[in-house]
Structure 1
């Protein structure tokens, strides 16, 4: 299945004192680069957030920056090519995401609306998923600002994909960063 990729690369990183999380380096590679690398099979990669030099992606911002991942997703969807069926959606703070993660998610869509990675605790990781473009567009509210991603995507027919070790990890706190450095 042909797909595009959206990297949600904004956010305020309050628990990390406002640091630019996508620029944080884990294993000598910025987190944003890890997400973009995981999307190597995508027809187009769209990054939603402040423009950062050195990445060959389409950059965009939500109309009102800082209004959440649903608004970022809506902004990114505007740049998804019309001829792709699916879109992989990744947060930009995932040190363990790989191309194989994205490949498994896209393959798991099957006849449903989408697929999300499920962590070891059984929680769906909404910013680690792949979706049929039409289903995603239909699910988005007319006013996406500050909408809850879980509510917007949770109503869709979702296939759960168990995470492999480390795939669902994210960097939200100094302790998370320390664990991965």
Structure 2
């Protein structure tokens, strides 16, 4: 398949701008797990993406990424996702989204999500209980069709934004569906 000029197959957004209140306000992106920051784990999981935008405060990374912040800050995952989408230089066919606090997600996870999304508007990883996590792929054109105006983004629930899309839930393999919301979650990984 030949893509139009300026278009790429897969770009991704890492959501790293939350308040982390249950982690005593720690910067989740800088929290270490197995000797590397949670942000480095997220960037590695998006190895197949031709471009990665991190919505959060800039920090050194081993792979080139673009940093941006939603305005106003702490607008939630919809504001972060759409701010990241707007910061992309390329026009993707599919857009990945990953919360920075999911260090067990890998590039294999995103390959499975892409496979599951064929013929659909996207696919999202679930946790062991079947709840949708912030790890997924979306048809970028379909996301653009359902995006609210700027004022409607702040504080909007992701489930509401995506409610009109044809999404498939993908069960986790092992612990890949677990996130780190508390210090206990980090310890238990």
Q: What TM-score results when the alignment is normalised by the length of structure 1?
A: 0.94
2:173 pairs with one of 135, 149, 164: 164
Counterparts of residues 91-106 of structure 1 (less than 5 Å): 91-106=99-114
Question: Can you give the 5+ residue segments of structure 2 that lack an aligned partner in the other structure?
Answer: 1-7
Superimposed CA distance per residue, residues 80-125 of structure 1 (whole angstroms, 9 cap, x where no aligned partner)? 3444200110000112111101111122211111100122111111
Q: Is it true that 1:153 corresponds to 2:162 in the alignment? A: yes
Shift of residue 161, structure 1, vs aligned partner? 1.1
Q: Is it true that 1:10 corresponds to 2:14 in the alignment? A: no
**Could you tell which deviates more after superposition, 48-57 or 79-88?**
79-88
**Could you tell which deviates more after superposition, 93-102 or 48-57?**
48-57
Match of 1:32 in 2: 39
Q: Is the 8 A contact 1:22 1:92 kept in 2?
A: yes
Aligned residues between the structures: 179
Q: Is the 8 A contact 1:62 1:71 kept in 2?
A: yes
Match of 1:70 in 2: 78
Q: Is the 8 A contact 2:51 2:90 kept in 1?
A: no
Question: Can you give the 5+ residue segments of structure 1 that lack an aligned partner in the other structure?
Answer: none
How far apart, CA to CA, are the structure 1 residues paired with 2:48 and 2:69?
23
Pair 1:39–1:24, CA change in 2 (3 A): same
Q: Is it true that 1:20 corresponds to 2:33 in the alignment? A: no
CA RMSD in angstroms, aligned pairs only: 1.4
Q: Is it true that 1:130 corresponds to 2:137 in the alignment? A: yes
Q: What TM-score results when the alignment is normalised by the length of structure 2?
A: 0.90
- List, as ranges, runs of 4+ consecutive aligned residues in structure 1 with deviation greater than 2 Å: 79-84
